Amino acid sequence: MRAAQLMTSNDQEKDVTGATIWLTGLPSAGKTTIAYELAARLKAEGRRVQVLDGDEIREFLSAGLGFSREDRHTNVQRIGYVAELLARNGVLALAPVIAPYADSREAVRKRHQSEGTAYLEVHVATPVDVCSVRDVKGLYAKQAAGEISGLTGVDDPYEAPESPDLRIESHQQTVQESAAALHALLTERGLA
């Protein structure tokens, strides 16, 4: 695992290990909410943290991509590249991204492995019926009304991770408890 060299105020170098924490799950599972809760805690502890919000990346980095399997793969690879670049430079990159296909997530993991950069996969395993009630962006309602199709987990596949580093049942605990479980994993792995 590579550690970035940071200069402190008295010009001593300090090793800081970065990592990518990939939060995958259905729309409205709680990925982004958990990521921002964890980011606030890590920043309070003095860590460099960046949340790579999947919606923001689609708007600014992957504009023009649709939701075909190829476009989704391209989007995930772009986010994975940016996350690895940040992590390699001592940042904890939190990526709350649906990333519905196992092969796309595996390609991101392999990129990190080839660079010697820490990568953790977290499955925010919220059942689709809970997500559809939360419906943060109104996607489930639009799909039910026939206004959209290709909604991940409803009429488009979501390949849940078989053995993630952590599985969070966000519907059975608070956001703070979910973030605390993830923080505990980072601590256990020497990343927090």
Binding residue positions for ATP: 25-32
Q: Which residue in this structure is represented by tokens 């409803």?
A: 154
**Whole-Å CA distances, 178 to 123, 124, 168, 182:** 11, 9, 6, 6
Residue 90 region by backbone torsions, left for phi larger than 0, else alpha for psi between -120 and 50, else beta: left
Supply the DSSP string of 64-131, one letter for each residue: T--SSHHHHHHHHHHHHHHHHHHHHTT-EEEEE-----HHHHHHHHHHHHHHT-EEEEEEE---HHHH
Residue 45: helix, strand or coil by DSSP? coil
CA-based nearest residue to 33, from 191, 171, 190: 171
**Which residues make up each annotated binding site?**
25-32
Residue 170, CA atoms < 13 Å, CB-side half-sphere: 29
Compute the distance between CA of residue 58 and CA of residue 44 in angstroms, rounded to an integer. 28
Q: Which amino acid is at 134?
A: R
